[in-house]
Structure formats: structure tokens, C-alpha cells
Amino acid sequence: MDYKRILINGLNGMGDFVYYTPVLKAVRERYPEAHITLLNWLVTKDLAVNCPYIDELLVPEEMREQCLQHASDVGTGFAKIINLKERYDLLLDFGCPPLSTLITIACRARRRISFKDGGSAGRFYTDLIEKNSHEHIIYQYLKFLPLLEIGIPGAIPPPVWPSEQDIKDVAAFMKMNFRPEETLIGIHPGCGVVNRRWPPEKFAELADRLVETYGARIILFGSRYIRTAEEDDSQADEVMAAEKISRLMKIKPVNLAGKGSMNQFASVVSYLRFYIGHDTGPSHIAAALNTPILTIFGPANPALWQPLGRYSYIVRKEMDCAPCGASGCEDNRCLKELEVKEVFTACQKVIKDTEGVTTQVFSLQPSA
């Protein structure tokens, strides 16, 4: 079929964006003349805005006033805005109900493809894909392609496209603040879901041990973005978490939390010897860049969400109740009981296994 207008509902997390990007690339290559619109939340805008596989980016949070003109809530209003556009030929729905169902109805696409969720929403789609709780999410997204008679890609490119200015600015920053021979270790202590976070006090102790053992320079990362579900919880502020870690450390780190864009973050990560984070979007980006990475897992399922990369490792506390789901529980024992010495031992293994690995710093002519 010839699809001239394609709508991609990508209203989910940054990790999802990383893993459905190969689908965007394959669809663009198959339909080079099509107008492709991507729906994305604000948290992923920094990445998506430079994506070479789309023509248009729509972000509900940035259209709030316009949405509310059409309905009493942003979700319904956003669906009506989609309805006002020219009819789409194809919808690939990577989003989550109930908003995805509203968008599916509103876009009036001739063909509508989504995951089967077991509910009644399936009747709004022409094609449904079975989910597999034991299969990594990237392979589940790739199942959209055979339905479009598109082959599965062999190589998966990193989902980041820093501008030439980003690359130059980061190169100048790194040259000014670090010596070439220094061991740079990045730590991202945040996560959109508070119950998936290891305590800041333990991160500080871990960072001190890495400095003492390896003479490392620590770089802290963090976003100012706070999920709506977490907005009343001061613990959700990643910048505050990074500041707390910095205060507790014996030798002060370079704190980049709340500074720069996601593409600049990716450019800095490409200089690192080693990266430590939770099972959250930035970790998936670091792994995709083939920077050695250790991911701290709590309630989420590593089989589904381990960051994919050549040098990707995980550490978690084995418990009968884990994994219990992406949002975890208030008890949070799987992270509270994970000791610094356990994570440090995992760090030692990663550093030993990846000795001699040279990370790929972005060139001034990044490819798409």
C-alpha cells in the first residue's frame, strides 16, 4: 500500500523512544515521500526534534492551551486536534490507553496497528500484535515492520542526533574541565519513577569508592523534568538528588544535573570510561552509544528493559517479589537492601571487562 500520511503515536517514555527509533528509520526508508508525524511527550522532545526520520513533531504539553480550547482536559483536546488534520493513511500506535484509543479514533487512518492489550480497545485497530513479557521491548516494536512488508534492520543506530554546535560546545567544555588521561565516570541518580531509584546516600558512598580506587572524576547528570504523577513529591527532583550526592561526597564531582539538552548529554556520555544509572531513558542512550554501562534494577524486568549495548551490565537484588512492574511498590526493598559493596563489586567487573575499550566520541559530521 502507498501511505502518504503516517502518524506515529509515541506517547510513552524515553526508553521506548530509543527502541522504536529503528522502526521510524525503516518506515522512512520504505516511504521516503510520506509525511510522517510523531506524537511525543515533552521529556523526549530534545531527542525527537532532531530525528531525521520524521517531518512533524507534536508535543501535547506544548499545545496545552490549544488542547483545552477543544475539551476540558488535554488528552481529549489533543485527540480532537489530531481529528482536525487531514486524514492519515497509516497509524502505528506505540502509546498507552486511554489516550491512544482517543487518538486512534480521531486520526481516521485507513490502517491502524497496535499491541493487543486484552481489552475492548482492540476493536479500533485493523492489526494487533501480541506482547511477550519475556522478550526485550525492541524486538516487540520491530514486529510492526513485517506487517508493513518491511524487513527487520540488522544494525540499530543510536537514537541521538547532536548538532554540530552541540558537538563543538561539548568538546570545548571537556577540554576546559578535564585532562585527556582522566578516568571519567558518569552517574545519573534519577528516574521518572521514584520507586525505581537507589538512595542518594548510597550513590555518594559508591562515587567516593570509585574516586579512591580508580582516581576517577565523577560527572553527575539529571533532568529538570518531573512526571505529572510525581510532581508533588520533592524526591522526584533529579537536580536536588544530584546536589545531595555532591554535598555528601568527599571529593566534589562535576555536577551537570539540570544543564544542557539530551543531545549534549549524549555527547558528554561519549567521552566517559563508564556510566552508572537506573533503568531509565538516559541509560538506554548511554548503552546505545556503546559506553560501558551498569544499570541498577529494582522492580522492573531486565528481560524487557536491560539497556542494549555492546558493554551493558546490570546489578539487582534477587528477591521473590521482583520483578513486580515498572512502578514498583512503596516498600521498595529491592533497592533499599541493595548494598554499596554489591554495586561497587559490579562496577569493578565492568571496568575490568572493558579495559582497553575506547568509546566513540561524536565527530563533527554525525551520520543519521
Closest residue by Cα to residue 40 from 11, 76, 20: 11
Are 123 and 196 contained in the same domain? no
Q: What does each of the 368 residues of the chain score in pLDDT, given as a tens digit? A: 789 999 999 998 889 999 999 999 999 999 999 999 999 998 899 889 999 999 999 999 898 889 899 898 988 988 888 887 788 999 999 988 788 989 999 999 999 999 988 666 788 999 999 988 789 999 999 999 999 999 988 777 778 888 889 999 999 999 999 998 999 999 999 887 878 889 999 999 999 999 999 999 999 999 876 665 555 455 668 899 999 999 999 999 999 999 999 999 999 999 999 999 998 999 999 998 989 999 999 888 888 889 988 899 999 988 777 777 666 666 778 788 899 999 999 999 999 999 988 776 665 443 33
Cell of residue 66, nine digits = 490549544
Confirm if 14 and 46 have CB atoms less than 8 A apart: no
**Cis peptide bond prior to 307, omega within 30° of 0:** no
Q: Examine the domain organization and report whether 192 and 278 are in the same domain.
A: yes
Instruction: Quote the pLDDT of residue 354.
Output: 94
Tell which of 147, 177, 196 closes a domain.
Answer: 147
Long-range contacts of 211-217 (CB under 8 A, 24+ apart): 211/249, 211/250, 211/251, 213/348, 214/183, 214/185, 214/351, 215/182, 215/183, 216/182, 216/183, 216/184, 216/185, 216/273, 217/178, 217/182, 217/183, 217/184, 217/185, 217/253, 217/254
- The residue to which cell 489533543 is assigned: 78
Total domains present in the chain: 2
* CA 301 centroid distance within chain: 15
Judge whether 224 and 265 are in contact, CB under 8 Å: no
β-pairing, 56-58 vs 90-93, is: unpaired
- Is 347 among the domain residues? yes
Measured from the Cβ of residue 151, the count of other Cβ atoms closer than 10 Å reads 10
Residue 253 lies in a domain: yes
Residue 119 amino acid letter = G
Compute the distance between CA of residue 9 and CA of residue 223 in angstroms, rounded to an integer. 24
Could you tell me which residues are beta bridge partners of residue 189? none
Question: Has residue 289 been placed in a domain?
Answer: yes
What DSSP element (H or E) covers 8?
Answer: strand 5-9
If phi over 0 gives left and psi between -120 and 50 gives alpha, with beta otherwise, what is residue 356?
A: left
Give the largest CA-CA distance in the chain: 62
Is there a single domain that holds both residue 69 and residue 205?
no
- Looking at residue 368, its pLDDT comes to 32
Backbone φ and ψ for 78, nearest 5 degrees, come out as -65, -40
- Domain span at residue 187 reads 164-353
- Rounded to whole angstroms, how far apart are CA atoms 267 and 254? 16
For residue 333, count other CB atoms closer than 10 A to its CB.
15
Distance CA 23, CA 159 (A): 11
d(CA 127, CA 139): 17
> Which of 147, 179, 206 is where one domain is finished?
147
- Domain of 53: which CATH number? 3.40.50.2000
Do 251 and 281 share a structural domain?
yes
Instruction: Please report whether residue 155 resides in a domain.
Output: no
Let me know: does 300 contact 279? Beta carbons within 8 Å. Answer: yes
Backbone angles phi, psi at 112, to 5 degrees: -135, 115
Q: Are 198 and 292 found together in one domain?
A: yes
321 and 219 in one domain? yes
SS (H, E, C) 106-165: HHCCCEEEEECCCCHHHHHCCEEECCCCCCCHHHHHCCHHHHCCCCCCCCCCCCCCCCHH
- Do 346 and 298 share a structural domain? yes
**What is d(CA 261, CA 25) in angstroms, rounded to the nearest whole number?**
22
- Classified as helix, coil or strand, 230 is helix
Report yes or no on 195 lying in a domain: yes
Q: Does 123 fall in a domain?
A: yes
Is 190 found in the same domain as 124? Answer: no
pTM here? 0.89
Of 116, 147, 178, which marks where a domain is finished? 147
Residue 21: inside a domain: yes
Q: Which of 264, 256, 260 is nearest to 166 (CA)?
A: 264
pLDDT at residue 13 in the model: 87
Q: With respect to residue 364, please indicate whether it lies within any of the assigned structural domains.
A: no
Q: Specify whether 141 is located in the same domain as 188.
A: no
